[in-house]
Structure 1
Amino acid sequence: MPLHNEGGPAAAPAAPDPAAEPDVLEQLMFPPASLDPYPLYERLRAEHPVYRSRFGAYLVSRYDDVAHVLKHHELFPGVPEEEMARMFPQGVGHQAYEVLVTSLVGSNPPKHTRLRGLVGSEFTARRVGGLRGGIEELADRLVDGLAERLRSGETVDLHRAVSVPMPLHVMSDLLGVPHAERERLAVLVPAMMNVVDPAARPEAVAAADAAFHELGAFFDELVAQRRRAPADDLISALVSVHDGDADRLGPGELRTLLFTLWSAGFETTATGIDNAVVALTREPGHRRWLAAGEKEALAFVDETLRHDPSVQVAPGIRVAAEDVELSGTKIPAGSHVRLMLGAASRDPEVYPEPDRFDPARTGTVPLSFGSGIHYCLGAGLSRLEMSVLLPRLHRALPGLVAAGPPGRRRSVPLRDFESLMVRLEK
């Protein structure tokens, strides 16, 4: 089925015409594209690599174009807050919305440079490497628990038993979130995200507010505790920056940073772990990469992130600062631009046989974690967690197989999971 698209300036976001062919963003919300978006991405790259969505943005799908936008933040800055208000009118006036639209991901220099510098020192290679011992202990504990259940004959949801707890506990340890609160706070993140869903019903926005207030109250109390008695964690470090120089990190910025780190700190890594397990169960021959050594395990991780990236649409909406042409299509100044990372990750111009899972690939760096000033701060930590966990999972459970199709959430930006049932092969 060809994709019909119109040229010209981007229209304001509007409800689609029911008589017309569904917009690409609509197609991604429902089967078959919600289950497997890659055939749709293939047609998008071939027919309309710069696709004007009826929801008010140009969707960029070829690797070189996506990389160009990411590299040139001055030509494609984040959307101003007043424009975000027009895009998501249902969220305006809600505190959850204010936090999400003023986060690090959507900000521009000099604000972005200042905030990223405050947090970035905690995600250096040396700091991340220092977490390895704790990550290894956690991975051993989670895999041992899973193995015990599977060997007793259970069918287990690996997503809930391993994939989510692994990054959740790592990020919680980094921030200083107590064990007793972690699972309760984790479920608040999806509820908060409803406030930036254009189709969100009033009850969903109300639920986002409730989640925001619950999470906010927790962080306010934790900040107060760390102010009284600092600990060796990231929250204590950020409190020190705020109290030592209020011009560098204001109270609202401190809270927004904590929300951003918490919401981004585990869901994408959990999805990466799930996708890696799916790849293993579908193509058992690739398990040799997890038995060979650390370098090979990292190659397997990187191919997982390329082949089926957790983040399919880059967070943050860009806006063209001037008229620009990508793949022969003119994007007028002021137009919104969304980056289709999932489509770029399988561009055949960059990756030969892009649908084939091949950890031996070398050369072009995947865009799974973004690029340029918005390159994901937690990329090194995520890769470390996956490269530590997956070999242990393989060694302990070489007979691991799928016990049914993965349960996917209905989400366009994230290709994440609700469940991943596994068992041991008999």
Structure 2
Amino acid sequence: MAQTSIWQQILDPSRRADPYPLYTELRKTPVVRVEDGTYVVSTYREIVSLLHDPRLSSDMRNLPESAAGASAQGPDEGPATLPPSFIQTDAPAHDRLRRLLTWNFGPPHRPGRIDTMIPRMFEIVTREIDGFVGKDRLGTTRVDIVDDFAYPFPVTVICELLGVSREDEPRFQALSDAVVQAADPTTGGITERQRGRAKAVADLGQYFAELLDARHGQRGDDLLSGLLGGDGDEAPMAPGEILSNAALLLVAGHETTVNLITNGTLTLLRHPEVLDRLRRGDEPDLAARVVEELLRYEPPVQFLSNNRNTLDDIEIAGTTIPKGSPVTLVLASGSRDPDFVPDPDRFDPDREHNEHLGFGGGIHYCFGAPLARPETRIALTELAHRLKNPRRVADPPPYRASPSLRGPRHLLVEIDGVNPGQHRPP
């Protein structure tokens, strides 16, 4: 029997609870070609270098016989005809799309967009935690942090930001799951996954097309209305571009934040001394530092899988990655690289100069970072203040199948009750 490679072990669902020892082994060879021909990069400096290298493309149509190109032109692909979203393009197309999205999302053109949502975030979090009351089982209160809190909170926020009805959640969640599955390298070859992703995004685009048609030209203050309104020097965004990017934002706007909040809750329960500090509330900047350390220590996105490819030969860490090769950047491994981060396997929110890859880097630095940070800070702070004596029911909990978008599927917590909510400053 052939020996199982380190990369195959990382992809194995049975290793999902703790992949970090495997990353330690992976970093011994910073650049390695794995079984499907992909080059996997696992060390911090090499990942950062590639994130800023224009020879590394995010447009899978540049990959020979790429799924993106096949699905865009194949006659049997049905509705999969939407143009790539901005994270699937390179400069200058990427820059134009990102500027138009940013114009309606945040600084410098809409600097108050996220800040004005913070009171609403507190309202949603307060409502969800209030809902824990009455979930009694066998004489104690038991809640699932995922289903009862970490999922409904960011879903509600992104729906309100985009102008999507929360009642449509069952429909778009099924499509979101299909997009996430297409990013899972254990579910087939690159071409097959790219076609699956294109189909799921196209179906989400159809959902948004129906939503916009139903508005009959009526616009509000949401992000979709802003894109339709054509603000910005390079406006308007083409209709197909609106649909593909709206689909992306809907998926990315909650999937990763669910994992970040859940990973954060589990990490705090494993480190009660930090949870107690957060509960006391006498360190004004502690919550922000906790979130940054979580992005380094237990990031929701473990690696960027098969959505980068080389436009030319690239020599890095003594290895030449040939032109036309798919590349996977293992962000979570890079953020625990001991050659860059001291004592990387220790959770330490007091860490100085906390540089991490939790939001990627380069021109594709996470678009939603300004939203995910306050969402997670508010969620974890309120859980710390309001839950009485929270305890893990099982550790490790069951994890989602995806090795790249990593987080618990359920996180059962027992509590002795819920403290009253308070009106806290943003």
Question: The TM-score by the shorter chain falls in which range?
Answer: 0.7 to 0.9
**Structure 1 match to 2:333:** 343
Question: Taking every aligned residue pair, what percent have the same amino acid on both sides?
Answer: 33
Letter in 1 for 2:57: P
- Are 1:103 and 2:85 matched, yes or no? yes
1:278-316 deviation digits (Å, cap 9, x = unpaired): 111111111134233441101011111110110011266
Whole-Å separation in 2 of the counterparts to 1:256 and 1:181: 18
How big is the shift at 1:94?
A: 3.4
How big is the shift at 1:158?
A: 1.2
How big is the shift at 1:366?
A: 1.1
- The answer to whether the 8 A contact 2:23-2:42 is kept is yes
Whole-Å separation in 1 of the counterparts to 2:194 and 2:58: 24
1:150-203 deviation digits (Å, cap 9, x = unpaired): 6972322110100011110110010011132124422321124445656459x9
**Structure 2 match to 1:56:** 37
**Structure 1 match to 2:175:** 188
Whole-Å separation in 2 of the counterparts to 1:173 and 1:205: 29
Whole-Å separation in 2 of the counterparts to 1:42 and 1:403: 29
- The answer to whether the 8 A contact 1:289-1:300 is kept is no
**SS across alignment from 2:315:** strand
Q: Structure 1 369/208 Cα, relative in aligned 2: closer, same or farther at 3 Å?
A: closer
Whole-Å separation in 1 of the counterparts to 2:36 and 2:26: 16
Letter in 2 for 1:37: P
**SS across alignment from 2:114:** helix
More divergent stretch after superposition (215-224 vs 246-255):
246-255
How big is the shift at 1:264?
A: 0.5
Q: Structure 1 218/20 Cα, relative in aligned 2: closer, same or farther at 3 Å?
A: same
Q: Structure 1 76/204 Cα, relative in aligned 2: closer, same or farther at 3 Å?
A: closer
Q: How many residues align?
A: 404
Whole-Å separation in 2 of the counterparts to 1:161 and 1:167: 12
Among 195, 212, 234, the alignment partner of 2:223 is 234
Among 218, 222, 230, the alignment partner of 2:207 is 218
Whole-Å separation in 1 of the counterparts to 2:317 and 2:37: 19
- The answer to whether the 8 A contact 2:299-2:358 is kept is yes
Among 34, 47, 52, the alignment partner of 2:16 is 34
- Are 1:415 and 2:401 matched, yes or no? no
How big is the shift at 1:206?
A: 11
Normalised to the residue count of structure 2, the TM-score between the two structures is 0.85
**Structure 1 match to 2:421:** none
1:219-272 deviation digits (Å, cap 9, x = unpaired): 112212345211110111111229x99974222211101111111110100100
**SS across alignment from 1:261:** helix
Letter in 2 for 1:81: R
Normalised to the residue count of structure 1, the TM-score between the two structures is 0.85
RMSD: 3.1
Among 58, 81, 97, the alignment partner of 1:78 is 58
**Structure 2 match to 1:178:** 165
**Structure 1 match to 2:276:** 288
Whole-Å separation in 2 of the counterparts to 1:247 and 1:231: 18
**Structure 1 match to 2:309:** 319
Letter in 1 for 2:349: P
**Structure 2 match to 1:329:** 319
Whole-Å separation in 2 of the counterparts to 1:386 and 1:150: 26
